[in-house]
Amino acid sequence: MHAATQTKPAILFVCLGNICRSPMAEGAMRDAARKAGLDIIVASAGTANYHIGNAPDPRAIATARAHGVDIGGLIGRQLSENDFFTFTHIIALDKANIAGIKARAPRQGKAQVELLLDVLNHRKGEAVPDPYYGDDADFEACWNTIAEAVDALVARFVASERNAA
Ligand code: 4NP
């Protein structure tokens, strides 16, 4: 395929509340893509409506900041039917999120729905545990897992761009 006719990858990370895991994934992915020179769209959403309009959890903001990434300006929103047409990939942080995503999926939805840790051969099928009821160490572990996974995702998109060129 000619590069000009390719669809630019648009990745939506989805967790439950969109204040802990998926905003960290959005920030980590945007940072990793920028460093790799990969031109993609990145966003995040929650399956639930609890935190619409809210900033990420202060612990998520602090953890991202400690890793050089600013997610303080992100705003919580809920997954919408439109997302299944405007994003090429909807990436869930855990399997309950996959169920929540499928429950909201319109019949004609085009986005490919995946589990984030399926990108790591040694962690296929695993969840990124919800740190919301945990402590700072849980947020740090969460960030590190997400960072490893988004690095692998970026490598996958870079490889597929190269193959399509
Ligand atoms: P997240 O974490 O899905 O990683 O954003 C949660 C945040 C808030 C709630 C649950 C999970 N909550 O129940 O309010």
What is the distance between the terminal CA atoms of the chain, rounded to a whole angstrom?
Answer: 7
Reading phi first (left if > 0) and then psi (alpha if -120 to 50, else beta), residue 18 is in left
Shortest-distance Cα residue to atom 13 of ligand 1: 17
Q: Do residues 70 and 27 make contact, with C-beta atoms less than 8 angstroms apart?
A: yes
Token pair belonging to 154: 């970026």
pLDDT at 1: 47
Which tokens go with 75? 């705003």
- Point out the catalytic residue in the list 31, 57, 130, 142: 130
Helix runs in 1-135, H state only: 21-36, 58-66, 83-86, 95-104
Residue of 21, 31, 83, 94 marked catalytic: 21
Is 30 an active-site residue?
no
Spans of all domains in the chain: 8-160
142 counts as catalytic? no
Angle of helix 21-36 versus helix 58-66 axis, rounded to 10: 20
pLDDT band at 97 (very low <50, low <70, confident <90, very high): very high
Instruction: Decide yes or no: CATH 3.40.50.2300 for domain 8-160.
Output: yes
Residue 109 has pLDDT above 80, yes or no: yes
Predicted confidence (pLDDT) at residue 67 exceeds the cutoff of 70: yes
Q: pTM here?
A: 0.96
